[in-house]
Amino acid sequence: MSELRPPRYLKTLNRVVRARQALGIPAGPSQVLTVPGRKTGKPRRTPMTPFLHDGALYTVAGYPGADWAANARAAGAGTLTRGRRSRQVKIVELNPHEAAPVLRSFAVKVPVGVGFAKRAGLVRDGTPDEFAALAGRLAVFRFEPAE
């Protein structure tokens, strides 16, 4: 499979979500993760849709090699914001074995993410098995309370 790239509309959509959040207006279930850029150190804000799985909060990169995932991996900590509420979080990347059940859950709990993955060609039908098979290709992170 050739290297996947984010769709052209994603930057514009992310700007809209970040602007709404900055005004204190939550945009559906999305939250904005802010981490320092791994090269510049400047704050990088990325909208995402965290979800609960077995009592913990997780998020999944929308495509392999996502820049925000590399920044989150390098930072290990950041800020999650929804509307006017922010909290500091520790960011823990899961290994493929740990990621598979979380990806299965993602397929059920995050329909917007399933649609994104289908349009990107990562999955055909969006079944939990298809998502579990992406373990090791898509970065999966758990958010923990900052210490």
pLDDT digits (tens, 9 = 90+) for 43-79: 998 889 999 999 999 999 988 988 999 999 999 999 9
Name 141's bridge partners.
59, 93
Quote the distance between the C-alpha of residue 143 and its chain's center: 11
Burial class from Cβ neighbours inside 10 Å (0-12, 13-18, 19+) for residue 5 reads exposed
Whole-number Å distance between alpha carbons of 36 and 31? 17
CA dist 40 to 44, 46, 64, 71, Å?
A: 10, 16, 22, 10
Specify the pTM. Answer: 0.85
Whole-number Å distance between alpha carbons of 136 and 65? 11
Over its length of 147 residues, how does the chain's per-residue pLDDT go in tens digits?
445 666 666 566 666 666 666 666 666 678 889 999 999 999 998 889 999 999 999 999 988 988 999 999 999 999 999 888 899 999 999 999 999 999 999 999 999 889 888 888 899 999 999 999 999 999 999 999 997
